Amino acid sequence: MLTTVTMLLAAGVLGLLAVIVAYVLGWANYTFHVKVDPKIVAITDALPGANCGGCGYVGCGEYAEAVAAGRAELNLCAPGGSGCAEKLAQIMGVEVGQSLPYRAVVHCAARRDQRLGQTVYLGEPTCVAANLVGGVQGCTYGCLGLGDCVAACPYDAIHIVDGLSTVDYDKCVGCKNCARVCPRNIITMVPFKAERMLVVACSNKDFGPEVKEVCEVGCIGCKACSKNAELMSIENNLPIIDYDAYESEEQFAKAREKCPRESMILVGKPSPKDLAAVAGEKLPDRVEADFKTTVDDTEWRG
Amino acid sequence: METLITLIQIAIGAALINNFVLHYFVGICPFLGVSRRIDTAFGMGCAVTFVISIAATLSWVFTYFILRPGAPLPAWIWQMAGGDASTQVNLSVLSYIVYIFVIAASVQFVEMYVRKFFPALYKSFGVFLPLITTNCAILFACLEIMKHLQDPMRLWALPEALTLAVGGGVGFTLAIVLMAGIREELDACDVPKPLRGPGIALIVAGILAMAFMGFAGVDRGIQSTLNAFLH
């Protein structure tokens, strides 16, 4: 008798509570209704709703708002993958494949022995410190080669080779960390329309004679390139490439031929010709990391 | 007057001496998650205080009239069904599910309300407002109130329960605002690299908890002072 009444009471209490709460919440939902952009609702529905924060926003809701406002890329959701990105692209009415990969480019080509007017620098071994001191090398625009960008790169994609920061385009993902830390702002992000891109490998804004005093390879601003290629112009004694109209490196073949200093270089994947040139040489094999602990191979003698 | 002294004791006990966050370690999730900026932290504290008061009031009503051993409603139904008046119907097994239900519903309600009338606050809460649903500080307050509704001789009335809830909420706000203040200053400090982020936050929380241990025994002093003042 007591058990039956208790059970019935328990069921009755919970049932009654559910009805009351449902009514109150339903009323509140109707009364406190806020109009939201239907796009945000659709995007929120298309996202996995894991609230993992992998996209860099606090939750799926905030990411959905950012996407709807055009502030965020469509492909940031790692759990949703490419299917999710496609759905978002459909909702936003854009094509997902439109975005070009941006990669870091160092606008300096002078290796250690090509820089003139160098002095011995014994200070803090960072570019920021050396940049403050001045007089470390003749060129006040070029790479200092002390590796602030190397320390900033989370992907091990930039290294100092012969005193010059060199990007490894197999590893670079275009996170901009190196461009952000470079005190001389010589690293910029270039849209890679092809596997290899033509870039201007100098940042010196001085006139020709002054450049020749401090560097063996730097651009002297002679305008030979801008006269021979439509997509190039000279500003502050430096050539500028119009990457919006850039289609292939062939457009610049004549300009490169005329350049007296070889200031324009190709960066990115090596060409077939370059690969053929080193085909005969024996290159060291790539060493893969071996994730083993010291006890993995130890024989157990318990 | 005795009631007033009891209420003051309960409030100070919940806010300072047995601070929910720093003494019982409940409600750590928003305490660490939303304590980056003082204004957001204060908003979160106010939201928790608000929700905790509503949840505590509702759960006191449910516990007092329905759930506690010897509650009037089940007893009445029991006698209507022809039961013996000396047997008690005990529905306290339902307490957890009812509390969670009430808390979830009141958080939903608060979320809708804030979204309608304080959009900026709603934005700054982000995902943390729904997280109050699973905030153990609120369930803890409800269970603490239930503990004081077990003994039929010394039942808590609604004012006591509400005082505990508001005191606990104020204590939570105090703790989270203090934490946010410290963390704002911490941004300008040279914290060793391995400790940055959660590491230093937990260390700071621990030191804060130790500092709050200094309040132990304050309630007895306040009680004797008030007694001397009144008599």
Question: How confident is the model over B185-203, as pLDDT tens digits?
Answer: 888 888 888 888 888 999 9
Q: Is-contact A184 A114, C-beta < 8 A?
A: no
At residue B162 the predicted structure's pLDDT band, cuts being 50, 70 and 90, is very high
Is A217 within a domain? yes
CATH at residue A74: 1.10.15.40
Q: B59: left (phi > 0), else alpha (psi -120 to 50), else beta? A: alpha
Look at A74 and B163; give whichever has higher pLDDT: B163
Verify that A141 and A241 share a domain, yes or no: yes
Nearest to A119 by CA among A87, A144, A150, A86: A144
Last residue of a domain, one of A99, A120, A145: A99
Task: Provide the residue type at A123 as one letter.
Answer: G
What are the structure tokens assigned to A17, written together? 């509570």
Q: Does residue A197 lie in a domain region? A: yes
Whether A150 and A184 share a structural domain: yes
| A196 contacts: CB under 8 Å, gap ≥ 6 | A249, A266, A267, A268, A269, A270, A271
Contact A29 B98 (CB under 8 A): no
Cβ within 8 Å, pair B127-A25: no
Please state, in angstroms and rounded to a whole number, the distance separating the CA atoms of residues A179 and A163.
18
Query: CA–CA separation, B20 vs B138, rounded Å?
Result: 10
Is the pLDDT at A282 greater than 80, yes or no? no
In a domain, A168, yes or no: yes
Count Cα neighbours of B190 within 13 Å in the Cβ-side half-sphere.
Answer: 0
List the domain range (segments joined by +) for residue A46. 13-99
CB B161 within 8 A of CB B57: yes
Chain-chain contact of B98 with A51 (C-beta, under 8 angstroms): no
The number of domains in chain A is 2
pLDDT digit string (tens) for A219-233? 888 888 888 888 888
- What average pLDDT does the structure give for chain A? 81
Both A73 and A120 in a single domain? Answer: no
Q: Do B116 and A9 touch (CB under 8 A)?
A: no
pLDDT at A291: 61
Test A58 with B127 for CB contact under 8 angstroms. yes
Burial degree of B186 (CB within 10 A; 0-12, 13-18, 19+): middle
Looking at A99, A116, A138, the residue that finishes a domain is A99
Q: Is A49 on the interface with B (CB under 8 A)?
A: no
> How is residue A181 written in tokens?
């830390």
Instruction: Tell me what pLDDT residue A278 has.
Output: 65
B33-77 pLDDT per residue, tens: 878 888 888 888 888 888 899 889 988 998 999 888 888 888 888
Interface of B to A at Cβ within 8 Å reads 62, 66, 74, 77-78, 81, 83, 87, 89-91, 93-94, 97-98, 101-102, 105, 108-109, 112-113, 115-117, 119, 126-127
Boundary of a domain, candidates A47, A75, A99: A99
Residue of A nearest to B86 (CA): A2
A283 touches chain B (CB under 8 A): no
Asked whether residue A107 falls in the same domain as residue A92, the answer is no
- Give pLDDT tens digits for A163-175: 889 988 888 877 7
Assigned domain for A223 exists: yes
| Same domain, yes or no: A259 and A164 | yes
Do A214 and A245 share a structural domain? yes
Verify that A252 and A216 share a domain, yes or no. yes
Residue A126 lies in a domain: yes
**How confident is the prediction for chain B on average, in pLDDT?**
86
Mark whether A51 and A82 lie in a shared domain: yes
Question: What residue type is assigned to position A237 of the chain?
Answer: N
Residue A227 sits in a domain whose CATH number is 3.30.70.20
Which of chain B's residues have a Cβ under 8 Å away from the Cβ of A5? Answer: 74, 77-78, 81, 83, 89
Answer yes or no: do A45 and A164 share one domain.
no
AA identity, residue A292: K
Q: Which pair of tokens denotes residue A14?
A: 């919970």
What contacts A9, CB < 8 A, 6 or more positions away? B74, B77, B89, B91
How far is A81 from A83, CA to CA, in rounded Å?
6
Rounded to an integer, the average pLDDT of B154-167 is 91
Residue A286 — pLDDT band, cuts 50, 70, 90?
A: low
Per-residue pLDDT tens over the stretch A141-184: 989 888 888 988 877 889 998 888 998 888 887 777 888 889 99
> What confidence tens digit (pLDDT) does each residue in A80-118 have?
766 788 888 888 877 655 456 778 899 998 888 888 888
CB A262 within 8 A of CB A220: no
Contact B112 A29 (CB under 8 A): yes
CB A112 within 8 A of CB A137: no
Task: Flag whether A123 is in a domain.
Answer: yes
Shared domain for A120 and A252, answered yes or no, is yes
Asked if residue A27 and residue A133 are part of one domain, the reply reads no
Per-residue exposure over A248-287, b if at least 16 CB sit within 10 Å of its own CB, e if not: ebebbeebbeebebebbbbbbeeeeeeeeeeeeeeeeeee
Q: Tell me: the pLDDT tens digits for B121-138?
A: 787 666 667 777 667 888
DSSP string, chain A: -HHHHHHHHHHHHHHHHHHHHHHHHHHHHHHT-----HHHHHHHHHS------TTSSSSHHHHHHHHHTT-S-TT--TTTHHHHHHHHHHHHTS-GGGPPPEEEEE-----GGGB-S-----S-SSHHHHHHH--SSS-SSS---S-HHHHH-TTS-EEEETTEEEE-TTT-----HHHHH-TT--EEEEE-SSSEEEEE-----S-HHHHHHHBSS------HHHHH-TTEEEETTEEEE-TTT---GGGGHHHHHH-SS--EEEEESPPHHHHHHTTTS-PPPPPPP----TTTTPPP--
**What is the SS3 assignment for B108?**
helix
Nearest CA in chain B to A51: B127
Tell me: do A45 and A130 sit in the same domain: no
Does A154 map to a domain? yes
pLDDT number for residue B174: 94
List chain A residues with CB under 8 Å of B85. Answer: none
A-B contacts at Cβ under 8 angstroms: 68
Note the pLDDT of residue A18.
92
Residue A130: inside a domain, yes or no?
yes
| pTM for this predicted structure | 0.55
The residues pairing with A161 across neighbouring beta strands, listed in sequence order, are A164
Counting every residue, how long is chain B? 231
Whole-number Å distance between alpha carbons of B12 and B174: 12
